[in-house]
Amino acid sequence: MSSTDTVASAGGFTEGHFVTFEGLDGSGKTTQMRLLAAHLRARGTEVIETVEPGGTTIGQAIRRILLDPAHDHLGPVAEMLLYFAARAQNVDEVLEPALARGATVFSDRWTDSTFAYQGYGRQLGEGIVADLDRIACRGRQPDLTLWIDVELETSLGRARSRNVQESAEGTRMDEQSRAFYEQVLQGYRILAERQPERFVRVDGNGTLEEVAERVKLAYSRLEPSRV
Ligand SMILES: Nc1ncnc2c1ncn2[C@@H]1O[C@H](COP(=O)(O)OP(=O)(O)OP(=O)(O)O)[C@@H](O)[C@H]1O
Ligand SMILES: [Mg+2]
């Protein structure tokens, strides 16, 4: 990022920021994204919130395929392609139009999730994720990613209690093993080591308010005058 608060696009118009939220299931991504979006809106920033998969009508249909417990035979490569199909649609329909008119876009998960869950968790490797990202996202990368990092037990406990409220059936993801989630966490750690400017770890332990303060602090490196 430059020292200014905004990125100038080719036409001289000011392009919005693209910020993503990452972390294990139940880490607090959705909660913290909503809190930061509300905080920035109260200060006059236009924030568009999206989610992957599911940020478009087509993405929601893909999300239903991915989370359907009847699809426990969905192959790992097919699964990964579905995630990228949803994301490609999001790029065209939501992300690029919003950034082009100067809005800030927050996404609840993005390609770093595919890197961590499919690349590391399912051990498909980093190369294939990078290749598909180039095709689906056409060079668009988040300006800042906030990784809400909590202990594995905390995350699984929060996800379980939330899913019990939402659905008695749970999702395919809930049935996966602890070893899988350890691999996912390893993927996130690698991203934080390699891209410390973009991929920022936020301690997700503690109360909602404590984590929200850390999120604001981490976001302030992108837009110091807006937080
Ligand atoms: N700091 C916190 N302390 C206690 N509970 C929390 C905290 N943050 C979130 N929660 C609760 O934990 C549950 C999961 O949080 P949230 O839905 O924000 O996580 P998530 O990362 O979006 O999960 P998923 O990946 O499954 O969508 C929710 O019930 C939420 O209210
Ligand atoms: Mg969520």
Per-domain boundaries in the chain: 15-219
Phi then psi for residue 219, to 5 deg, are: -70, -30
Q: What is the pTM of this model?
A: 0.91
Comparison of pLDDT for 12 and 208, the residue scoring more: 208
Distance CA 33, CA 21 (A): 7
Tokens, residue 62: 């893909």
> Are 114 and 184 within 8 A, CB to CB?
no
Angle between helices 126-137 and 76-90 (to 10 degrees): 30
Whether 164 lines ligand 1, by a CB cut-off of 6 Å, is no
Q: Is ligand 1 within 6 A of the CB of residue 31?
A: yes
Distance 15 CA to ligand 2 centre (A): 27
Please indicate whether residue 207, judged by its CB atom, sits closer than 6 Å to ligand 1.
yes
Mean pLDDT, the chain, integer? 91
pLDDT at 6: 47
The confidence score (pLDDT) of residue 79 equals: 97
Q: Measured between alpha carbons, how far is 217 from 135 in angstroms, rounded to an integer?
A: 33
141 has a pLDDT exceeding 80: yes
Q: Which residues contact 71 (CB under 8 A, 6 or more apart)?
A: 65, 172
Q: What phi, psi does 15 have (nearest 5°)?
A: -85, 145
- Residue 206 CA: nearest ligand 1 atom is 1
Q: What is the mean pLDDT of residues 14-41?
A: 97
Among 32, 162, 176, 184, say which to mutate for ligand 1: greatest number of ligand atoms within 8 Å of CB.
162
Which residue among 27, 31, 109, 152 has the greatest number of ligand 1 atoms within 8 angstroms of its CB, and so is best to mutate?
31
Q: Assess whether the C-beta atom of 55 lies below 6 angstroms from ligand 1.
A: no
pLDDT at residue 125 above 80? Answer: yes
57-66: long-range pairs with CB below 8 Å, 24+: 58/86, 58/89, 59/86, 59/87, 59/89, 59/90, 62/86, 66/172
Amino acid (one-letter) located at 152: L
pLDDT of residue 156: 83
Averaged pLDDT, 20-31: 97
Closest residue by CA, ligand 1 atom 13 = 158
Place 169 in a pLDDT band, splitting at 50, 70 and 90.
Answer: very low
User: Has residue 133 got a pLDDT over 80?
Assistant: yes
In which band, very low, low, confident or very high, does the pLDDT at 44 lie, cut at 50, 70 and 90?
A: very high
CB atoms within 10 A of CB 134: 10
Backbone dihedral angles phi then psi of residue 204, each to the nearest 5 degrees = -95, 5
pLDDT at 172 over 70: no
Q: What is the pLDDT of residue 167?
A: 54
At the fourth CATH level, the homologous superfamily of domain 15-219 is P-loop containing nucleotide triphosphate hydrolases (3.40.50.300)
* C-alpha dist (Å) from residue 207 to 6, 25, 34, 156, 212: 31, 17, 15, 16, 9
Distance from the alpha carbon of residue 100 to the mean position of ligand 1, in angstroms: 31
| Burial call 93-122: b when 16+ CB within 10 Å, e when fewer | bbbbebbeeebbbbbbbbbbbbbbbbbbbb
**215: enclosing H helix or E strand:** helix 208-219
Contacts of 167 (CB under 8 A, 6+ apart): none
